[in-house]
Chain A
Amino acid sequence: MSSQHPPAMSKPKTRSSQGSHTGIYKPDAVKDTADSLSIPISDSVASALASDVEYRIHQVIEEAGRFMRHGRRTTMTTSDIDQALRVLNIEPLYGHSSHNPPTFRRALPFPQMPSAGPVYFVEDEEIDFDRVLREEKIALPKGVSWTAHWLAVEGVQPLIPENPPAIPREQDGEPGMNGMTGAGPHLNGVGAKKSVASQQQQQLVKQVLSRELQLYYARLTSSLLPPSADTTKRNAALASLRNDAGLQALLPYLVRWVGEGVVNALGEGSQSESGGKVLEVLMDVISAILENHTLFVEPYLHQILPPILSTLLYSSLPPSHAALLRTSAAQTLSRLLTQHSTTYPSLSPRIMKTLLLALVSPGKGAGTREGAIRGLVGVGKEAVRKGLVESGGAKVVGSECERGVGEGLETAVLDALRSLQPQVESDMSDSLDQSNEADANVYNHLRDVLGDYFAERVSTDAAWARELANIPIS
């Protein structure tokens, strides 16, 4: 009965739409059944029978509804219908289990009988026993298990995976939002919340600079770089960058601007005066950015470092600015490391590696070597020791100095080594005494690590030499 006429199983929503037709169960269906049993019945009888059948179906459904309710379900199953039929003293319908609810399919409409409406039938799958027996894939279902979790702790719902995500307060208080009947009100709440979150993310990405900031950016960049030669203006701009709050939104643009500026300056007019000036300003900009406490620079470190290191290690900086540029770049690097190496422990080793490569690897220009040494000084004392003494940087540079490449390099090395000089009260310093056996040992050791060129120069100060040779002061 129910299998033949599934529309009766659903609630009579279609009633009003069907207009003149009375009831859901059609007299035609009764007539069809009568015809199949070859019992002639009149229209009125068929209509009355249809009404009665409909009433009986409703009776069964009403009864089944009770079983559904007591089964603590919101969906009626075939077992409910079975139970209902049983208590109504009707033989149950066999062959319908709630394990695999029957799927109804809609037949193609009959063109010759448009009045018949949609016709549904049960999909009857053919099972090939041979195949089923061969495959032997009958798995036992998992047994029932339980889990326990805190739904609320002293009136507060903990945010754990077992609980649904919290619904925003406004929504909670608004009965209209989750006041819908039936199952699944929270799902809607969750969905709404998710969409809100993703919206916020999209807004973050798409965030547009305010008009004021755009103006500020244009003014700032134009006043910093030549052709504007007004130093007061430039200083004012740098001061603003150093101290003003509220520039966070500009930071990505500024960082990119600096990076591009450095690339351009080094690429094109590296030998020219103007290129040097530009680089100088850009270094100032970077240090100003780093000095501004209101800016959150960390996400942009990977973009800030390349311009600094490029300036530091570039071989052919304009000679007039070279020393100044390398010093300021090294200072900036130093500042950056002191500020951020605590949060990024891998930062200094990585920079060290770059600098060492520039210092030791053959075929680098004097400028690069000098920059690397200044960078090492910027990184710190230990870096200098490691780079110049332990990795033999001084040896490499010393051999190049012997060939007479430039005194800038020599002073740089000595400056760097001097940072390792112990603090001695007396200005007087005696040189290493070659005759003294211990001092001779130190000198030999120095020659091993620093090379002849610098060992000679360092040996003038015994304490310094001993420190470098890592021998405690006697």
Chain B
Amino acid sequence: MNSSVRKTAFYEAFNARALRPEEVAERFVPSDAFRRLIRQAHSIVVGPRGSGKTTLLKMLQQPALETWAHPDAEAYRAEVTYTGVFIPTDLSWKTQIESLGAHDFSDQDHQLFEGAAFTVHVLHALATAMIYRVHRGPAAFSHRRADLPWLKEQAIVKEISSIIGVSPALPTLISLKHALGKRLTRLREVAVRERVLQKEGRRERLAMEQVLKMWYLEPTISCIEVFNDAVGEPRARWALLFDELELAPEWIREQLVNATRSVDERILFKLSLSPYDENVVQDSMLAPMQDNDYDAIALWHASREDGYNFCAALWQSLLSARGHSEATAEATLGPSIFDATEVALRTHGAYGPRSSHRRRFRDLAKKDRTFADYLSAKGLDVNSLEEGDENARASEIRKIISIVATRETYRVPDDSKGRQRVRSRKNPKLYVGAKSVFAMVEGNPRWLIAIGSRLLQGSDDEGRIPEAVQSRELMSAAHRFQAMLETVPVPKVGDHTKVSGVADLVGTIGEYFFRAVVLEDFNPDPPGSFIVDSNLHPDVVSILGRALNVGAIVYVPRERESVLVGDLIGKRFRLCYLLAPIYRFPIRLGREVSLSTIIRAMSEEGAHQTTLFK
């Protein structure tokens, strides 16, 4: 059982897609991203799978805000002075017609149906949001309730119905919503009919169809106007929350991205998108976003410290759910070797005679000639590290601690007789500790919840997780992640690229870093990140895009570079830290090298590769 890593998606069960807003709110932990998203601005949330995009958008709906009981919730609620309208991307926008096998539809015909289905979904979501404001039962924290006497409701439903051309069974918002649901059925009927009737005369027939005529924007604005007036808030704003736009037809996505330029000031757009989409001419789409029309919010963390606070808060909530409300992250998961801040080192007496760092330095120096040489060149003595009081020396040591620890863990002594060049470590203790765990889950709530609940199953009475449990569970999560990477579909690539898919590419890079850190001569600043250079075959770039969307590689924007990746060429990335125990690299952002260099170096190694890692 144990060895069979199931090839499924990676913890997809933890997904906010199917959750009701109230359920999302139950466990919601606010993040910096949420603080930004909530502002009265157009925003675009970008993040890999599981990074919490859907959750963030769903939290802006009234029922979510009304059930959210976090200590800071009141302050957040006060900032939401608009009505959130959540619109999940529905595959029917794109595939409905294709699924009918209507191959003879022109692009224009397609767009008619796509636009109509999209419009109905937006209006349906709008009606739902209106119902929330008027008709919900008592809530824990009432928020933006509207007082709409029955006669007024009747009047606005009649008005809205005539604007959008539906006839609800009753003059109520609930009926209005259902009438919109029926309209989708009607759309489908028309599509089926068209498939049967073929091309002849289609233009004319479609032109006659009322359901195909509407584009969401005007009716949305009219409906909002009617509602606002009825409840006496003529200037109130509405936020259209479009989730998973990467699944929407390109032209709709472009419309939305560009909409902010002209649209009514009562409407806010908040969109979510995965980091990379090869079908989009990225820069043309991203341009408007970068013109400050959109606040772009990235849900990943280039540096491992960034996500710490959010992870710690989420971890805290997982602990509380298990009855350890007093415990902290540091107390339950312990310190991390990779936490080489001065504070951490001092607190744990890192340099003292019995410290583990000191032992590592000594052990490595003993078995690694090149490291010993490095130390003596620098004038450092392993027996008196603690005397490095001068700032310069302390930082010298700090800089190399992660590399020393990793190297010491995996390197065999120079004089060892065996043919083995790497010490095998099944579940290395190297990667334990709060800072490491949080870095490895990459601030991704799905990963933290999934892995965290496994960890907590192995906790003691105070919620502490033994190192052995941590290393075992992290290793097993890493294996699952790697197995998932094997299954990521990629476009068929030619063999000129020398990489066959996401897992393969990531493996090549990881192995390269491992060599640099562990096998080659000691290097205080080995490579640990890469630049996507223009020498790469386009196929490789598109594989990288997939890797980015599933979180296998992480974008490291330079200063003043937008968090929106856009074109990958020229950008800097690192490997996801969850892969660290598999490829045995340190949790640290290393120097950059070009990806071409990596691929070239590794393919020259050729046959050795396979003997090195099994």
A, B in one complex: no
